[in-house]
Structure 1
Amino acid sequence: MPASPSTERAGETLRRPSVRVTGGGGRRSGALGAVIGLGLGIGLAIGMTAGTAMAQPQRWAAWSFEGGELAAEDGTKPLSHTAGERVPGVLGDGVRFGEGGGALVYPVSGRRGRSAVDPVRMGVRLWYRPDWSSAGPGGGQGPGAWATLLAIGDREGHPQDGWWELAIAPEGDRLVFRSGSGPRQTYAIESGPVTFRAGQWAEVAWNVFPGRVRGFVEGRMILNDVPARVPGPGAGAMRAGMAVGGLPDGRQGARGTLDEVALFDGGVDRVELWKRNRVLSVVPLEEDSGLRLAWRLDPAVEIEVRRTVSGVSNWVTVGRVERADTWEDRALEAGRLYEYQLWTNGRPSRLDATAGVGLPAVEDRGQVAVLVDETVAGDLDAELRRLERDLMADGWRVWRREVPRHDDREWLANTNAIVRIRSMLQDAWRASGGELRCVYLIGHVAIPYAGMEAEDTHTGRGNNHLGAWPSDHYYGDMDGIWHDRMEYPAHLAPPRFGITRNVPGDGKFDMAWVPPNEAGDTRLELAFGRVDFAGMPAFGRGRSAEVALLRQYLDKAHRYRQGGMPFEPRAVVGAYFENYTDMAMLGSAYRTGSRLYGLDPAVLGEGDLFALGDGRTAAWGFQSGAGAIDRIRDNWPGMVTTARLTEPRHQARVAFSMLMGSWFGDWAAGENNLLRAIIASRDHGLATFWVRYAEWRFDPLARGGTLGDAQLETANRHLVYRDPNRGTTRTLTILGDPTLRLHVTAPPGRVRGQRRGESVELQWAASPDAAEGYRVHRSMDPGGRGWERVAELGRNERRFRDDAGPVGAVYLVRAAQRMATASGSYTNLSQGMFWPE
């Protein structure tokens, strides 16, 4: 067998370190990674990191091998070209290196972007298609000799200049990384088992930071080492260039095809690697002339784009591309909403999107029921009246009532109130002709309980969570038939909290999903959300503390609507189980981020929403980790607790957050629930969500919809199949205001007006965002009958005269702004300004 690279020179010792992998419940395993077979490819990352937080990487250099001269992305030509033929690549063309050896050598020294290339502080990403299969599970013999993918320096001829190499072992079943800064300062390490198959693409990536070497296959850790130092090549080796497809002298050829090679000044993390098959964006083309679809998929010879008008099941193929990751649709109608699906090699992928260009503004949002805990309504009278005006100014018709408070001491004292509240909502829904679309619960309104599941999987003694959880979806279902007749499993230990136990006739319902009505329909009719700060003693005990938090939240949401709380348009994602358990959160994170912002790590990338650093903010934050009622990443570095969040400097600087961890979904259990602690901050935290299996559809936010619209789409399109592995509607709770939107257009200034006979004259101060002008609306009963648009004005028109203004009419002026998102473009309207005020 050929000599190991670690023994070719004195001083090198090839090691196989133990791998510490996070288990599903926060425990760690000592296994060194299993053999992972390839479907259409594998992704591997070997990372060297000094901590959990990494800056989003910027690209130093990239090679796609599309031109005849095989130049880099910036036009830099190779220093030498001793091997490599252009062949079909993963995207466009790639370069194949055969058995004859040789390599492409490119210059990499000098400053690029914000820093110079540093081989022990960088990330690399590439695609590789072997001409051979691995020994063992791969069914082959491997390359038969060392196959080098990338290399810097001449380890044998000029060891004093240092070296850096990534190679595949002769058997093809492991990767070896080695580096050195001279004969006495060397480092070499091999990964756990990996399986390659001939002709199948593999995505390979590794990160370089001081102090840690980590390896991943498809996001699964196969290598974890913490060396005291990682030596690397010096200036001489760097000036000689980086070899692609073999060693600089042409030996140890890659014996396969390389494509899409890129160097970054930061790490290519698991969040980035796991995007494949999970992200799709649809951005508008210039002047809304069409849409550009961009995706990350396993390599496919043919990708088929299918399209239909939204709501119509008439799918047609509108485009086909080969080995590509983008496609443009210019044959569509502005103002119309479309649905897209991607198929690969004749089979449906999991990627779909809803998008359009020039979509119209939403002016009428229907009716919202605002139900307020009767014990706090009086204290919040001014804030509630302001909330009503805010809702009317966004196109809602408001129906407000005071309802009973939940009794935490005696469950049976709540059952009649819960049924009466739903009955009241049903009457209002029928009276509205179905225009009632949302219920907003404020305070400790009576809490329905339902279900016989433990969606966080805890059923052991002392930690049993199986049974009924808070289920506000009961208030959102207007016609389902609910039952209370299931027996609690006798073989289980008593639940940790008595309220969870669910037995026949106790007023806790059986259904974790919306039950069918008499016609078999299981749709959720009303979106539902709740702002409730009962049981949060970390922020203060007693009624006064609870009222203060409610008032603070209502003040905060008002500021946000008015444009006074901007957040950076990006989604940060922290996957801290560090295994496939994270995928239960990442599905929602990837869909949300890519449909709202795009695919780039700068807008959808790794980050800890509780530690954004440097005063930065984010509109969205996603995080998974071992949970307890009041904490995440329990007993791990970076643990966050509710007590910690009471300090403003530790609060999460995000608008909307989604967490996956044990106990969070049962948001009323115990005290100091972490999700509710996030929205208890003064200046951030507008809504939080728990996720376990459901892949939320926040796409409506990209076209002016509300959180409630996203909840309804998730419930009625994604959760129509009663599969526990897809999630339940009882845990689709929005902890926060369900009427909030993502994009905030600054409203115009104060509206002044006067009546002259039968006419009304209005004027107002400009909005800085009114690129599309202003809309003027009129109503005789804004809270009941809504608004009629009476004028659409240009951006410089800030006066309006209504020659037939009826006595008693109320006017509303709203600024209009075109918004471009990763789901197309639409007209967004600001909060309206009233006259008379």
Structure 2
Amino acid sequence: MKTKITFIILLISFFYLNFSCVFAAKPTISDFVIYYNVELDSLSPAITIKWKATSDTRNFKIVRKLKNESKFTQVAYLEGNTAEQWRDTDIEIGKEYDYGLTQAKEERTAFAYFSAGIDIPLKDYRGSLLMLIDSTIFQSLTEEIQQLTEDIIGDGWQLHIRQVPRAETFDKSKVDIVANIIKEVIETDTNLRTLFLLGRVPVPYSGNYAIDGHRPQHEGAWPCDGYYQSLDKKGIPQFSPNWTDSYANNTTAISERTWNKPGDGKFDNSTFPYKLNLECGRVDMYDLPAFSLTEEELLRRYLQHNHKYRNNLIDYKPRAIVNDFFGLNGKELFVTNAWIMFGGILGADKIDTSLMSETLRNEKYLFAYGSGAGSYVSCNKVAYTNDIVKNGGYHTIFSFLFGSWFGDWDSKNNLMRTILAADPPALTCAWAARPYWYINHMGTDENIAYSALVTQNNDKSHYVSNSMFGHKGTHISLLGDPTLRIYTVPPVKNLSASMFGSEQEPTSLEVRLKWEYDDNNIIGYNVYRAKNINEVFVKLNDTPIKECEFVDKNFPSDSAIYQVRAINKNLTFSTSYFTQSTGKFAKTKTISNITDNQEISAYIFPNPVENDFYIHIRGQKGKKLTVNIYDVLGKDYGIIYNDINTYDELKVKFTTNSIDKNLPLKNGVYFLKIQEDNNQVYLPLFIKK
């Protein structure tokens, strides 16, 4: 009986997502794909677009805008089918441009979008990120969360971390708690750009429709993280429409979870009431009982794989795979979204159409797209929850799926979240085709959530294509780490820092950084410094450093932490841009806090630490001295030293696995707070066992 029901659901799914009229002649993907190449000329400078003309082409249109502009402007209109290239000389080195191509044919129209630029500068500082963490996983995943925070900070982000209450089912009061936390951070940090929801963060719901076409069985409110994204209202007109919960009254859906009634806390809105300003991504492994692993273990596996990808410990081919089991008979042409996305980053020649379930279990591709009739746990011939649990996941990073039911991702054993929970896991997943997604900015070193936000804010007048439904829909969301980008530069190795000079002559003190790197085919390195890991890191060098060392003579008198990033220049399908590795933090051996009038100073040796380490403290005899230890998440491990200083200079030995001194510490970055009366200093402590 269960098999028969599943078959009926799949059959209905195919019907609902293929209701559009059919073309007279059977089309092929070539009818809807523009085969083009982009050439960069840094001397002129110029960007040349070359494409393949077809006999039935009526005209070819090119539009362009600067990256941060909202609307495209037409720059070329070519009648007939003879033109096969166009050269844009109205460009500047270092600027990012977005291009749109439209090839109008006798019966059909093809679209393409890509980003381009010559020698696009580094994105040193990416803005602020607020990580909202399910409070029930905070302690058990401390080591993985700490590693994640270091990777994110090492990628140019400033980080805020807040714990939030867990909500396994919809809970409006807990959604409000999360919303208020976001608002508080917005008020204090005008650079807040992105939200990262980790664990079972309360899920908002909104809508009164079924974007997959299953009416009334799937009508009502779907999960809507976009509500959190809407809380930054900078630039939003005062009298814009708002979120309401007063008129949607729909209890026809099969699942009570998606019912929407007035005053139930689920919003009426089926489209976003105004432009979203914040990016967002969610990593949530709740309610996946098909796996034998616990929710915590699934999160741990995801975070460990995330770290490996960011640090180039796994090699993914710059290729994409596309599987379509809907066909091209309808007007919406779902699969063409994949060719628009991947063709604009990699080029059409880097797209394969072999069976995903076979290819991606043997080869590693950056991108994957699959569409087919669906259920909550399946996308026909593309992916199935039970198969992934039994036979393993797909070797891809950025995945996109489309089909019925599973786009409502807050469901039991949901296919999209299964993709992220698998072994190996994909690191992002999105429901793409209603509407089309546009990820061309990833080709200029942007993170995936930037493209998600472009998609959420797009209506038919901006990025124009065969996309017909779902524009600005409250169902649009990103599953996975929102900060991920295409990483091509491995990080440095064995980074260390040493203090040289005499403490009696503070002007002679300097910090010497040294590191190793395996690849000589890079431009150089950048060195950054901050007073602590939660502040914005400032670049210390004006030009790339060529050697694997750096001397800092102007370090601050209190604590300092360094990071080093390798630099290279990427030449891609349509851009040349400068990019960096994930930063590695300096392993400071002796960071002095001496000034001419400072009454307390200290340093740690050795640093990094495997087991034993010493704290050398210079203070005032007879004063009470305390030492506290914290991790980068702000967790207080308590006092590890508390006594009267009987010497002007004190040397105290500690062991990292000493439970009696509150030091059963794992690998990572910590901070020591050393206080004598009203004087205090902070020292970074690096543990590497």
Name which of 472, 482, 489 aligns with 1:738. 482
The answer on 1:339 being equivalent to 2:98 is yes
The residue that corresponds to 1:218 in the other structure is: 27
2:574, 2:118 → 1: CA distance? Answer: 9
8 Å Cα contact 2:345/2:440 also seen in 1: yes
* 1:789 equivalent in alignment to 2:542: no
Q: Does 1:425 align with 2:182?
A: yes
Report the more deviating stretch, 422-431 or 392-401.
422-431
Distance 2:526 2:382 in 1: 48
- Residue of structure 2 in register with 1:626 after alignment: 373
1:656 alignment partner in structure 2: 398
Per the normalisation by structure 2, the TM-score is 0.74
Give the whole-Å Cα distance in 1 for the aligned partners of 2:132 and 2:267.
21
Provide closer, same or farther for how the CA distance between residues 316 and 582 of structure 1 changes in structure 2, counting only shifts above 3 A: closer
User: Conserved in 2, the CA contact under 8 Å of 1:626 and 1:662?
Assistant: yes
User: Deviation at 1:437?
Assistant: 0.8
Q: How does 1:756-835 map to 2 (within 5 A)?
A: 756=500, 757-768=508-519, 771-784=522-535, 786-791=536-541, 794=544, 796-807=546-557, 808-835=559-586
Letter in 2 for 1:734: L
What do the CA deviations read for 1:140-172 (whole angstroms, capped 9, x no partner)? xxxxxxxxxxxxxxxxxxxxxxxxxxxxxxxxx
Structure 2 partner of 1:469: 222
Contact 1:441/1:530, CA 8 A, preserved across alignment: yes
Letter of the 1:406 counterpart:
A
- For 1:25, the equivalent position in structure 2 comes to 13
Give the superposition deviation at 1:407.
3.3
Q: Distance in 2 between matches of 1:294 and 1:509?
A: 47
TM-score (norm 1): 0.61
How much does 1:580 deviate?
Answer: 3.3
More off after superposition, 760-769 vs 389-398: 760-769
1:482-497 paired onto structure 2 within 5 Å: 482-489=243-250, 494-497=252-255
Tell me, yes or no, if structure 1 residue 576 matches structure 2 residue 325.
Answer: yes
Amino acid at match of 2:357: F
Tell me by how many angstroms 1:590 deviates: 1.4
In structure 2, which of residues 127, 136, 151 is the aligned counterpart of residue 375 of structure 1? Answer: 136
Pick aligned residue for 2:442 from 696, 701, 705: 701
Structure 2 match to 1:224: none
User: Residue 423 and residue 708 in structure 1: after superposition, are their counterparts in 2 closer, same or farther (change >3 A)?
Assistant: same
Query: CA separation in 2, counterparts of 1:584 and 1:665?
Result: 18
- 1:289 positional shift: 5.2
| Cross-structure match for 1:523 | 275
Question: What is the Cα deviation at residue 487 of structure 1?
Answer: 3.2
Deviation per CA, 1:643-698: give whole Å up to 9, x if none.
11113x442121111111111111112x2111111111233411111124112111
Cα shift readout 1:702-752 (whole Å, capped 9, x = no counterpart)? 111101111112222447889971434433221111111123310111211
- The number of residue pairs the alignment matches comes to 553
Measured at CA, do residues 274 and 604 of structure 1 come closer, stay the same or move farther in structure 2, by a change above 3 Å? Answer: farther
Q: CA offset at residue 585 of structure 1? A: 3.2
Task: Give the stretch that moved more between structures: 378-387 or 584-593.
Answer: 584-593
Gaps of 5+ in 2: 1-9, 234-240, 501-507, 589-685
TM-aligned CA deviation for residue 834 of structure 1: 0.8
> Does residue 190 of structure 2 align to residue 440 of structure 1?
no
* Equivalent residue, structure 1, for 2:635: none
State the distance in 2 between where 1:595 and 1:768 align: 29
1:26-61 Cα offsets, whole Å, 9 max, x none, are 369xxxxx9955xxxxxxxxxxxxxxxxxxxxxxxx
Aligned to 2:33: 276
SS of the aligned residue for 1:731 comes to coil
Q: What residue in structure 2 maps to residue 506 of structure 1? A: 264
SS in 2 for 1:822: coil
User: 2:375 is matched by which residue type in structure 1?
Assistant: A
After TM superposition, give the deviation of residue 343 of structure 1 in Å: 6.2
Q: Match of 1:367, SS?
A: strand
2:389 counterpart residue number: 646
1:822, CA displacement in angstroms? 2.4
Deviation at 1:325, TM superposition (A): 3.2
1:687 aligned onto 2:428: yes
Cα distance in 1 for partners of 2:342, 2:100 equals 18
Match of 1:62 in 2: none
Q: 1:690 to 1:614 in 2, by over 3 A?
A: closer
CA shift in 2, pair 1:571/1:392, >3 Å: same
- Please identify, of 752-761 and 363-372, the stretch whose mean Cα deviation from structure 2 is larger: 752-761
TM-aligned CA deviation for residue 626 of structure 1: 0.8
| Alpha-carbon shift at residue 796 of structure 1 (Å) | 4.2
Distance 1:748 1:422, change over 3 A: same
Provide the C-alpha distance between the structure 2 equivalents of 1:782 and 1:288, rounded to a whole number of angstroms: 43
CA distance in 1, matches of 2:226, 2:330: 26
**In structure 2, how many angstroms separate the alpha carbons of the residues matched to 1:585 and 1:465?**
20
Residue 396 (str. 1) matches residue 147 (str. 2): no
Pairing of 1:45-444 with structure 2 (within 5 A): 217-219=26-28, 270=29, 273-277=30-34, 281-285=37-41, 290-295=46-51, 299-300=56-57, 303=60, 305-311=62-68, 315=73, 317=75, 323-330=82-89, 332-342=91-101, 350-408=111-169, 411=170, 414-433=171-190, 435-444=191-200
Contact 1:280 1:595 in 2 (8 A): no
Distance 1:616 1:283, change over 3 A: farther
Q: Which residue of 2 aligns with 1:588?
A: 337
Q: Is the 8 A contact 1:584 1:691 kept in 2?
A: no
Give the match for residue 641 of structure 2. none
Instruction: Show CA shifts across 1:48-100 (max 9, x none).
Output: xxxxxxxxxxxxxxxxxxxxxxxxxxxxxxxxxxxxxxxxxxxxxxxxxxxxx
Aligned match of 1:64: none
User: Which residue does the alignment assign to 1:459?
Assistant: 215
**Counterpart Cα distance in 1 of 2:90 and 2:402:** 41
In the alignment, structure 1 segments of 5+ residues that lack a partner are: 1-21, 29-33, 38-193, 195-216, 220-269, 516-521
How has the CA–CA distance of structure 1 residues 818 and 573 changed in structure 2, closer, same or farther, with 3 Å as cutoff? same
Give, in angstroms, the shift of residue 307 of structure 1: 4.2
Task: Confirm or deny: 8 A CA contact 2:113 2:340 kept in the other structure.
Answer: no
Query: Does structure 1 conserve the Cα–Cα contact (< 8 Å) formed by 2:392 and 2:423?
Result: no
Amino acid of the residue matched to residue 811 of structure 1?
A: Y
Do the aligned partners of residues 318 and 498 (structure 1) sit closer, same or farther apart at CA in structure 2, a change above 3 Å counting? closer
**Aligned mates of 2:180, 2:114 — CA distance in 1:** 37
Q: Residue 595 of structure 1: CA displacement?
A: 1.1
1:290 CA displacement:
3.6
Does the residue aligned with 1:750 lie in a helix, a strand or coil?
strand
Residues 50, 85 of structure 2: 8 Å contact kept: yes
Contact 1:690-1:731 at 8 Å conserved across structures:
no
CA RMSD of aligned residues (A): 3.2
Q: How many angstroms does 1:282 deviate by?
A: 3.3
Letter aligned with residue 741 of structure 1: R
Question: Residue in 1 aligned with 2:408?
Answer: 666
Aligned-partner Cα distance in 1 for 2:332–2:457: 22
Counterpart in 1 of 2:285?
Answer: 533
- In structure 2, the CA distance between the partners of 1:661 and 1:613, relative to structure 1 (3 Å rule), is closer
CA deviation string 1:189-226 (max 9, x = no partner): xxxxx5xxxxxxxxxxxxxxxxxxxxxx213xxxxxxx
Q: 1:661 to 1:306 in 2, by over 3 A?
A: closer
2:185 is paired with a residue of what secondary structure? Answer: helix
**Separation in structure 2 between the aligned mates of residue 658 and residue 681 of structure 1, nearest angstrom:** 15
CA–CA separation in structure 2 for the residues paired with 1:614 and 1:445: 31
**Larger-Rg structure:** 1
Kindly state the Cα deviation for residue 753 of structure 1 after the two structures are TM-superposed: 1.4
* Paired residue secondary structure (1:828): strand
Contact kept, 8 Å, 1:770 with 1:816, in 2: the verdict is: no
User: Which of 738, 749, 755 does residue 499 from structure 2 map onto?
Assistant: 755
Structure 2: distance between partners of 1:618 and 1:386: 25
In structure 1, give the amino acid aligned to 2:219.
L
| CA-CA distance at 1:304 after TM superposition | 5.3
Pair 1:584–1:440, CA change in 2 (3 A): farther
Q: Which moved more, 1:567-576 or 1:749-758?
A: 749-758
Structure 1 residues 308 and 813: CA distance shift in structure 2, 3 A: same
- Aligned residue number for residue 352 of structure 2: 605
Q: Once the two structures are aligned, what percentage of the paired residues are identical?
A: 26
Match of 2:683 in 1: none
